[in-house]
């Protein structure tokens, strides 16, 4: 399991036009060692802000984030090799016209030779059962196929951990189940944000984010219960 550690992490941005700063997250201190961690919370609570810290997509204003002992701030490139990051919309993830080309792009770093790279890409696509869709334009794939393709491109480099920001939000029920099954089978450490509480329950540990703070941290059933109660109290 890959250990992810946050130590007194705060994220702030400049508030419009003034010297004052707006706090989006923190202070958050936590140590994630579980195989599956889910993150839930209201819109705008700070889930994405938290997840983006985990592979250095954004950096903490203060505090420290480490993955497997490596500091995200000073050792970003190494952390990104360890941690794959998945966006809600696979179209922002896939930067090449077809799935195969996108997987090959992922592999450019590890496979300098084109023929071995092509073989490796083929193997990855077959492993995830996407061989028949590899050469189709990503715009012509269904939402579910596209999300699986994006996941495949992420997994091509064999990361140790995956951070997924609402991976099933754009999917229908069948594709959500398909994606969940694919995720369950992965050996990687997985941290994911979701509004699908059923999915959140499949984790070993759940964080509830509220106004940029970890409001609940513990077993998924308790977290979901807490989150529901809070939503009812507020609404």
Partner 1 sequence: MTTGRATRGFGLFGSPVPGHSLVHRAPLWVKFGFVLLVGVSTFVVRDWRVSAAVCGVVLLVHLASGLGLRRLMRSLAPLLPILVVLTGFQWWSHDLPFAARLVLGILAAYVAAGILTATTPVDQLLDGIVWAARPARRWVDPETVALTISIMLRSIPWIAGAFGDVRESAKARGLERSPRAVILPAVIHTVAYARRTGDALAARGLGDPR
Ligand X SMILES: Nc1ncnc2c1ncn2[C@@H]1O[C@H](COP(=O)(O)OP(=O)(O)OP(=O)(O)O)[C@@H](O)[C@H]1O
Q: Show the binding pattern over residues 139-168: x = contacts partner 1 (CB under 8 A), - = does not.
A: x-------------xx--------------
Q: 53 by DSSP, 3-state: which? A: helix
Q: Show the binding pattern over residues 15-44: x = contacts ligand X (CB under 6 A), - = does not.
A: ---------x----------------x-xx
Q: Which one of 28-36, 41-49, 152-160, 210-218 is the stretch in contact with Mg ion (CB under 5 A)?
A: 41-49
Instruction: Calculate ∠ Cα 60-162-52, nearest 5°.
Output: 20
Note whether 219 and 190 are within 8 A (CB).
no
What is the Cα–Cα distance from 206 to 218, expressed in whole angstroms?
A: 6
Per partner kind, with CB cut-offs from 5 to 8 A, the member of Mg ion, partner 1, ligand X, none near residue 11 is: none
Kindly write down the DSSP assignment for every residue of 9-38, as one continuous string.
EEEEEEPTTSS-EEEEEEEEEEEE-SSEEE
Beta-bridge partners for 218: 206
Per partner kind, with CB cut-offs from 5 to 8 A, the member of partner 1, ligand X, Mg ion, none near residue 24 is: ligand X
Structure tokens at 129: 């059962």
Q: How far is the CB of 13 from ligand X (least distance, A)?
A: 4
* Residue 170 lies near partner 1 (rule: CB under 8 A): no
Around 24, how many Cα atoms within 13 Å sit in the side-chain half-sphere?
20
Nearer to partner 1, 77 or 173 (CB): 77
Nearer to Mg ion, 25 or 154 (CB): 25
Q: Which one of 17-25, 37-45, 82-90, 172-180 is the stretch in contact with partner 1 (CB under 8 A)?
A: 82-90
What is the Cα–Cα distance from 108 to 94, expressed in whole angstroms?
A: 15
Nearer to partner 1, 139 or 228 (CB): 139
Q: Please, which of residues 39-78 interact with ligand X by CB under 6 A?
A: 41, 43-49
Q: How far is the CB of 95 from partner 1 (least distance, A)?
A: 6
Structure tokens at 119: 């073989």
What is the Cα–Cα distance from 174 to 178, expressed in whole angstroms?
A: 6
- Residue labelled with tokens 């984010």: 209
Q: Please, which of residues 91-130 interact with partner 1 by CB under 8 A?
A: 92-98, 101, 104-106, 108-109, 114, 117-118
* Residue 222 lies near ligand X (rule: CB under 6 A): no
Helices (H) and strands (E) in the chain, counts: 9, 10
Give the CA distances from residue 91 to residues 22, 44, 88, 108, in Å, rounded to whole numbers and listed in that order: 30, 22, 9, 20
Nearer to ligand X, 88 or 136 (CB): 88
Interacting residues with ligand X (CB under 6 A): 13, 24, 41, 43-49
């Amino acid at each position: 399991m890959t250990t992810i550690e946050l130590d007194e992490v705060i994220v702030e941005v400049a508030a419009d036009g003034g010297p004052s700063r707006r706090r989006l997250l923190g202070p958050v201190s936590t140590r994630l060692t579980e195989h599956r961690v889910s993150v839930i919370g209201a819109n705008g609570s700070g889930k994405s802000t938290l997840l983006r810290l985990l592979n250095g997509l954004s950096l903490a204003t203060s505090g420290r984030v480490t993955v497997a002992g490596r500091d995200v701030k000073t050792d970003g490139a190494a952390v990104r090799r360890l941690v794959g990051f998945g966006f809600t919309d696979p179209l922002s993830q896939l930067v090449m016209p077809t799935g195969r080309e996108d997987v090959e792009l992922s592999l450019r770093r590890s496979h300098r030779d084109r023929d071995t790279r092509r073989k490796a890409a083929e193997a990855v696509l077959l492993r995830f059962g996407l061989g028949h869709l590899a050469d189709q334009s990503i715009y012509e794939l269904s939402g579910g196929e596209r999300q699986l393709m994006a996941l495949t491109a992420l997994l091509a480099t064999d990361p140790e951990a995956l951070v997924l920001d609402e991976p099933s939000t754009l999917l229908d029920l069948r594709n959500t189940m398909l994606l969940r099954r694919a995720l369950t089978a992965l050996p990687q450490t997985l941290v994911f944000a979701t509004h699908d509480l059923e999915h959140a329950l499949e984790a070993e540990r759940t964080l509830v984010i509220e106004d940029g703070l970890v409001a609940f941290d513990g077993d998924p059933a308790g977290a979901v219960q807490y989150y529901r109660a809070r939503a009812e109290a507020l609404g």
